[in-house]
Amino acid sequence: MAVIRDVMPAFELFQPASIADAQAVLARYGADAWVLAGGLDSLDWLKDRIKRPQAVVDLGGIVELKGIRPWENGLEIGAMTTLTEVVTHPVIRDRYAILLDAAEAAASPQIRNQGTIGGNASQDTRCWYYRAGWPCYRAGGNICYADTPEAINREHAILDADRCVAVNPSDTAPALIALDARMVVRGASGRERVLAAEEYFVGPAVDITRMTVLQPGDLLTAIRLPGDWAASAGGSGGAEVQFYFEKTRDRQVWDFALVSVASAMVLRGSAIERARIAVNGVAARPLRLAAVEELVRGRPRNEATAVMAANRAIEGAQPLRFNAYKVPLMRNLVKRAIRGTQAWTS
């Protein structure tokens, strides 16, 4: 486990007032710069002296990174918007309640007051070997300590492992994927690119040292929620959008997910017209269950469909010594996401 030293290594602190100023500092220091959002993850790294940046760039004074505003037929959320603002925003409550549920589940009220949605989506894995400074694959070494016969790997991956078996810890990530959110990234050159949420997160097969596409000098500036999956976007003829979010954890007040699921479904009568479903806590990136979405398309929303979907979701799972419980747990969460809160006869 990590040795808590509580004395941070020396670094230069920058508090820019604009995105351009922030990126100028990031460009100057490159990989030796550290971006500080709410600071809840960063301060752990710095106090444990595992990360030793030369410069810390505090984004707290950049007004353009904050706030929730209309965007086309949906919303744009600044990356530095706090989780509390997300939870209390009336439009998110009425049209994107799944994101409200995910943000509320992320932490206690005190932590939500400080933590940001960009920080929550972009945080690093919580694998204790990696966080304690062990020279694993993710840290640039040549071994995964969590994937050995003696390892403690109760919270690690059951899907898409490639050398590293760490999991993504974000609560908002699967909800953003279910909502087909767009992540706005400003590159070091100032060029802006917009990525689908599922493309923003990367697994070890792409880059074992990162969990997102962000490279040194990049900034996540905003998250855009399109209107296509908003609660009022079902269309005519009796169609409606329904959401489901559930997070299982060891402690109910504040803890990281063992497994979580988020789904958005357009229902026409009792049939599933289309769906987006994502899970987290089972792989190094939040996984969109595209095969499950295709399976349930056009089927009745009943027990038989839920069972088929749940069984499809866990295909290919490869549990480790201590996390086999995640397989039935994921199966049941997907089943409940298909069922929703209603009760039917199959």
Residue 304 is assigned to a structural domain of this protein: yes
Residue with tokens 């009796």: 238
Please check whether residues 247 and 304 belong to one and the same domain: yes
Please check whether residues 288 and 324 belong to one and the same domain: yes
Contact present, 22 and 59 (Cβ < 8 Å): yes
Please check whether residues 190 and 324 belong to one and the same domain: no
Please check whether residues 27 and 116 belong to one and the same domain: no
Residue 148 is assigned to a structural domain of this protein: no
pLDDT-above-70 percentage for the chain: 95
pLDDT digit string, tens, across residues 142-197: 999 999 999 999 999 999 999 999 999 999 999 999 999 999 999 988 899 999 99
Please check whether residues 109 and 175 belong to one and the same domain: yes
Residue 152 is assigned to a structural domain of this protein: no
Residue 271 is assigned to a structural domain of this protein: yes
Range of the domain at 37: 12-57
Please check whether residues 258 and 206 belong to one and the same domain: no
Residue 267 is assigned to a structural domain of this protein: yes
CATH number of the domain that residue 265 is part of: 3.30.390.50
Count CB neighbours of 273 within 10 A.
Answer: 18
CATH number of the domain that residue 78 is part of: 3.30.465.10
- The domain tally of the chain equals 3
pLDDT of residue 237: 62
Domain finish residue from 175, 197, 229: 229
Please check whether residues 48 and 83 belong to one and the same domain: no
Residue 139 is assigned to a structural domain of this protein: no
Per-residue pLDDT for 306 more than 90?
yes
pLDDT digit string, tens, across residues 321-344: 999 999 999 999 999 999 986 433
Residue 162 is assigned to a structural domain of this protein: no
pLDDT of residue 49: 83
Written in H, E and C, the secondary structure of the chain is CCCCCCCCCCCEEECCCCHHHHHHHHHHHHHHEEEECCCCCHHHHHHCCCCCCCEEEEHHHCHHHCCEEEECCEEEEECCCEHHHHHHCHHHHHHCHHHHHHHHHCCCHHHHHHCEHHHHHHCCCCCHHHHCCCCCCCCCCCCCCCCCCCCCCCCCCCCCCECECCCCCCCHHHHHHHCCCEEEEECCCCCEEEEEHHHHECCCCCCCCCCECCCCCCEEEEEEECHHHCCCCCCCCCEEEEEEEEEECCCCCCCCCCEEEEEEEEEECCEEEEEEEEEECCCCCCEECHHHHHHHCCCECCHHHHHHHHHHHCCCCCCCCCCCCHHHHHHHHHHHHHHCCCCCCC
Q: CA 261, CA 335: separation in Å to the nearest integer? A: 10
- What's the whole-number average pLDDT of the chain? 93
pLDDT digit string, tens, across residues 26-68: 999 999 999 999 988 888 888 888 889 999 999 999 999 999 9
Please check whether residues 221 and 97 belong to one and the same domain: yes
Please check whether residues 109 and 212 belong to one and the same domain: yes
Residue 72 is assigned to a structural domain of this protein: yes
CATH number of the domain that residue 35 is part of: 3.30.43.10
Please check whether residues 210 and 243 belong to one and the same domain: no
Please check whether residues 249 and 222 belong to one and the same domain: no
Please check whether residues 195 and 294 belong to one and the same domain: no
